[in-house]
Amino acid sequence: MFNLQVTSTTMELLPLVCLCLLTRSGTTFAEEGSKVIRVEEDSDVTLPCSLSSKENISKMVFDWRKDGQKDVFLYDEGKHYNNGREGQDEQFKGRVSHFPDKLKHGDASIKINNTRVADSGDYTCEFPHLQPRQIFHIRLVVVGGLKDGPGPKVIRVNQGSDVTLPCSLSSMGNIEFKLFDWKKDGQKDVFLYDAGLHYNNGRAGQDEQFKGRVSHFPDKLKLGDASIKINNTKLTDSGDYTCAFPRLQPSQIFHIRLVVGAAPEPSVTILDETNDWSLLQCKVQGASPKPEVEWQDSAGNILPAGEPQASERGGRFYITLNTTVSKTDRYRCVATQEDISHQIYAETYVFISGPILTDGSGRILKDRSGENIPGAAPKPSVTILDQTNNWALLQCEVQDACSKPKVEWQDRAGKRLPAGEPQASERGGRYDIILQTTVTKTDLYRCVATQEDISHKTDAETFVYISGSSTGWVAFGVVCVILFAVAVVFLSWCYSRRRSTQRFTQLTRF
């Protein structure tokens, strides 16, 4: 027979069990792994970092660090390590750059040239002055000596970048007075060095493809290093390279396979649109190798799209991808070439006004500010009055409108939001109205002012980022308390019943 014993220890353990469940749940939901990027040694890599709000960061501060210690790249209102600011770690000097033209879109990404195995590690991109502070995590893995099977070492780079083709004697002997010869595909003369005489100081014979674009490293010759650097790589530079020391006994030959090719920035177009949807088109032209193309919304979600239209000419790919969207947002077309660790994108902003609004007589309501309609409300002024990790207080102010407009807050989908009582004042037949609302999730919010009597509607938007929400914790805590109470009642009932049974047994003995 099942015997349930209730002790003080049992009662004390119940809340601890509940607390343990709550703690474990918090750990599960709070931990997020770093984005992992893998590249091959000597290639270039872009480490992404973008604010979801897409706000202009040209007057902000963002700080890149490696392993929490090394200063990789610091940007402070236009001042950074590449234009006079000091403090950058020696490992990254002259190798790291940002994208000035993308700062206005909230993009703080950086590019590291000529990666090394030592660059592997955990990188952070931090916006220390934002409230709340935002930190992004990237794990970079640089693989040295990666080969495609038993063949030559493979180096992959983006088109237009510089690349170093390595070639060093294991003996590290001085080669300043020796001969080494670089060729492409066994035929084209890339770079010939012969005891100090080479293609860049008077020697003839270099292939036209490489003239003015190839150099060596004179200060490394005494260490046996015959590496060369090719500037501004082209798709036609792809191929098999050899570095030969023909006069050594025995002769030595090193093999390198270079793969050049990167998708250019996509072209995005709004092909067609109505009040309810927009048809977007993305074109990626002349990419090699073939990229994967996809549409994403501002949150990074991949959007349903039609079948990509792809064609190939001379080893270069041309891809078109269409998608239809039905809500206001910023949309991004992303082209990814995993073979060369390259990703590039282009964005467009789409405004979906929603169904046409009419008044009782069927007149269309629209923004008529440009028509100088007397009394038409100007575009509202929207402000984030206060904000925490879990909510934001928004204020909309409409001034000098006649007649009195109807003011409301809407989310991205056009759903009307609960709001406080409008604060309205009137002066000389003109109205000033203030309306506040509190929101608890990341979204694009819109304040709409409507004057049906003059068929006028105008609006203003603001993007709100909510980093966390306590709603789930509150709900979980309530459930935990309820379960605890039920357990206490059940155990108390079992204990009382056991006592009653024992008493009845004692009475029957008499």
Strands 134-143 and 153-157: unpaired
- 99 φ, ψ to 5°? -120, 90
pLDDT in tens, the chain (510 residues): 333 333 333 344 344 333 333 333 332 222 334 677 877 777 788 999 999 888 899 999 999 999 888 999 999 998 999 888 889 998 898 889 999 989 999 999 999 988 887 788 889 999 988 888 888 899 887 765 433 334 577 787 777 889 999 998 877 789 999 999 999 998 899 999 999 999 998 889 999 999 999 999 999 999 899 999 999 998 789 889 999 999 888 878 899 988 887 777 899 999 998 878 999 999 998 887 889 999 999 888 999 998 999 999 877 899 999 999 988 888 999 998 877 767 888 888 888 876 555 555 555 566 655 555 677 888 899 999 988 888 999 999 998 888 899 999 999 888 899 998 999 998 888 899 999 999 998 888 999 998 887 778 888 888 888 876 444 455 556 556 677 777 777 777 777 766 666 655 554 555
- Type of residue found at 211: K
Strands 392-401 and 430-439: antiparallel
- 3-state SS assignment for residue 295: strand
The H or E element containing residue 19 is helix 8-30
- Six-digit token pair at 371? 């028509």
- For the domain with range 153-260, which CATH number is right: 3.20.20.70, 2.60.40.10, 3.40.50.200, 2.160.10.10? 2.60.40.10
Contact, 342 vs 263, CB < 8 A?
yes
At the fourth CATH level, the homologous superfamily of domain 33-144 is: Immunoglobulins (2.60.40.10)
pLDDT at 509: 54
pLDDT at 428: 80
C-alpha 386/C-alpha 370 separation (Å) is 33
Same fold, 153-260 and 361-464: yes
254 beta partners: 243
pLDDT at 207: 94
- Six-digit token pair at 396? 């909309």
Nearest to 285 by CA among 309, 301, 306: 309
- 384 φ, ψ to 5°? -90, 105
pLDDT at 388: 87
pLDDT at 493: 73
pLDDT at 193: 95
**Residue reference for tokens 């269409």:** 322
Contact, 39 vs 117, CB < 8 A?
no
Residue ranges per structural domain of the chain: 33-144, 153-260, 262-355, 361-464
pLDDT at 506: 55
Q: Does domain 361-464 have CATH number 2.60.40.10?
A: yes
Helix axes 471-509, 8-30, angle to 10 degrees: 160
pLDDT at 427: 86
CATH architecture of 262-355: Sandwich (2.60)
